[in-house]
Structure formats: structure tokens, C-alpha cells
Amino acid sequence: MPSHPNSVTIIGTGSYAPSNVVTNDDMAKIVDTSDEWIRTRSGISARHFAAADETTSDMACAAAERAIEAAGIERNEIDLIIVATMTPDMPFPSTACLIQSKLGLPNVTTFDMQAACSGFVYALSVANSMLLSGNFNKALVIGAEKMSGILDFEDRTTCVLFGDGAGAAVLSAEQTTEKVGILGVLGGADGSNPSLLQQPAGGSAIPATTESIASRQHFLKMNGKEIFKAAVRVMGQASTDIIEQQSYDPEDLNLVIPHQANMRIIESLAKRLSIPMEKFHNNLDRYGNTSAASVPIALDEAYRAGRIQSGDLILLVAFGAGLTWGSTLIKWQ
């Protein structure tokens, strides 16, 4: 390991989606909705739902295995695991600890991070700092969610929007002649109105009771209209801020990988940056909103499709419950 690394690069990516594909027509059999209603409001045509016995850690491990294989390293080279999720297998121990055990990685610094849909971008920021400290060499960063476990299938405005899956990246600390890999990271939060997007019960504020279960407080609740307006604002600001911070212009970007929540939000971001939609990698139509798994799944898909080449300038940007938001600028190496 270099004593003073100056770059953190992504050396391998992987992703996983459950085999159960649920189309909009399938959803219409569960709630009062239609393919047209969902597609015109969100851009989603299908999503993946995990099996009843398939956990967040199961999906995360599958994505991690693929990322490690793509990185071409021995798994025991990994000395840091960060898992971004808001649907852990259980409140404790952390899902990261369960993954560490399943992957057979002893004596690894391991923890979960909860920033909702911004989680993977937040986790990249933390991993980047920890690797640059020189105390760690290679990090496994995972975004994984079983959103189907917290969806209210009596609420057609929310249950049609989300899906399950996992994405992973292996990061390496490097000593390079020029700054490559993760160039910069930004994050922010505004917790003044948590009711915009939340799971009210299950924590210390509203512990599980017969009443909380009966009133469906353990399911996701969202004010879609207000979330949309906030997302357009913070995604745009986080993108322009990181680009300016690193002394680039939007037209310098080769690819943008945004959080896959709503196609109209992504189109608004493209308009704000004045770059064509062709520079965006979108898979929202096939996955729905997979929360913290959204960006890493899209990143892996874009790389494996040949959309990312060495030297490309890549922007990752996300927003989530909290509200949280974050962006990462990468010079791919």
C-alpha cells in the first residue's frame, strides 16, 4: 500500500437484481393503477422484487462478488466495507457485518451508512477519505435495498415507484502522477421536514405496537409533489457545485449517472446543465427507484455496456429522504 496515496480509483463494479420482474401491468392487478399512469408520471415500466426469503445482505453479496471478480483482486485484500442501505436485514447488527461474514472477510472495518437514496454517494465520500488517510488500501462500497419490504401495497402513489437490487464498487488507494479517480465529493442535508419522505414507525419515536402496525406506519410515506420540487433543486445545485469546484464545465462531462427516481427529474437536470439526455445513463424504466442501490447499479451497467472509458469525466448525483443529497466527480482510470 502506498504510504501517501493521492488518488482513489474504482477498480471493479458489480450489480444484482432479483429474478422476479414485476411489470406495470402486474402492479395494476394489485392496486388501482395502469401502465400508462405509471409510465407518464415516472418513466417506470418494470421493477424487480426480491423473493420472500431473499434479504438485502443476500443481494449485496451477489453484487459484491461480481465487483471483486471484475476488480481482479483476492477478496482478502479488502480491508474496509461500507454498506449504504435504509432497508437493513435487521436494526442490528449491521448489514455490513452480515455481508462481511458471508464473504468470509475476517478483521475488516465494517459498517452501514444510512442516507436513503443518497447513501451510495455518501458512502463513496467516506470511503474516499478513509483510503486517502493511508490507513486502508481497498474498500468495498455497496448500495443495497429491499424496498418491497417497506412498501404499502394499498398506496398506489408510492408502491409502483420502487424496486429491489444491489450495486457494488471496489475502490483502491493509489499513488499516481496526476489526480485521477474520485476528484471531489459534495454532500448536504436538510432535516427540517422529515415527513416529506419517511417510514414513521419502527424506531424510538414510534416503536412497534399493535396500533402502529394497524395504522400502517411501518410503510414508506411520501409527499410526491414536494419531493419532486426539492429533488429538481438539490440535484441541479449539487451537480453544478461539484463541477465548478473541480474547475470543469458541464459540457466536459462524458457521462452523468443520476439517482433513478423519476424521468422528469432527470430531464430537468439535463436542462439545467444544458447537456443532452444522450450523456445520461438511465435504467429507471427497468428497475424503478432502488434507493441506495440506484447509482451503483447504473454505474455497473454503464461500465459493462462500454459507456465508460479511461479518461472519461463521470458525474454521480443523488438525493434522498432526509432530505439528503450528494455528488461525486470521477476521472475514470
Residue-wise pLDDT tens digits, 92-117: 999 999 999 999 998 899 999 999 99
What local confidence, expressed as pLDDT, does residue 2 receive?
A: 45
Place of cell 461480481: 66
Catalytic position from the list 48, 97, 259, 262 = 259
Mean pLDDT of the chain: 97
Question: Sheet of 324-331: strands edge to edge?
Answer: 109-113, 80-84, 138-146, 164-174, 7-16, 181-189, 324-331, 313-320, 255-258
Which of 3.40.50.2300, 3.40.47.10, 3.30.470.20, 3.40.50.12280 is the CATH number of 181-331?
3.40.47.10
What local confidence, expressed as pLDDT, does residue 185 receive?
A: 97
What local confidence, expressed as pLDDT, does residue 106 receive?
A: 86
- pLDDT tens-place string over residues 30-65: 999 999 999 999 999 999 999 999 999 999 999 999
259 belongs to the catalytic site: yes
Is residue 4 over pLDDT 80?
Answer: no
289 belongs to the catalytic site: yes
Average pLDDT over residues 228-238: 96
E strand or H helix at 222, and its extent?
A: strand 221-222
Residues 6+ apart with CB under 8 A from 30: 153, 159
Catalytic position from the list 117, 159, 281, 282 = 117
What local confidence, expressed as pLDDT, does residue 122 receive?
A: 98
Catalytic position from the list 24, 128, 282, 289 = 289
pTM comes to: 0.97
- pLDDT tens-place string over residues 157-190: 999 999 999 999 999 999 999 999 999 999 999 9
Domains 7-174 and 181-331 belong to one CATH topology: yes
Fold classification of 7-174 is: Peroxisomal Thiolase; Chain A, domain 1 (3.40.47)
Domain ranges of the chain: 7-174, 181-331
DSSP bridge partners of 209: none
Query: What is d(CA 191, CA 188) in angstroms, rounded to the nearest whole number?
Result: 10
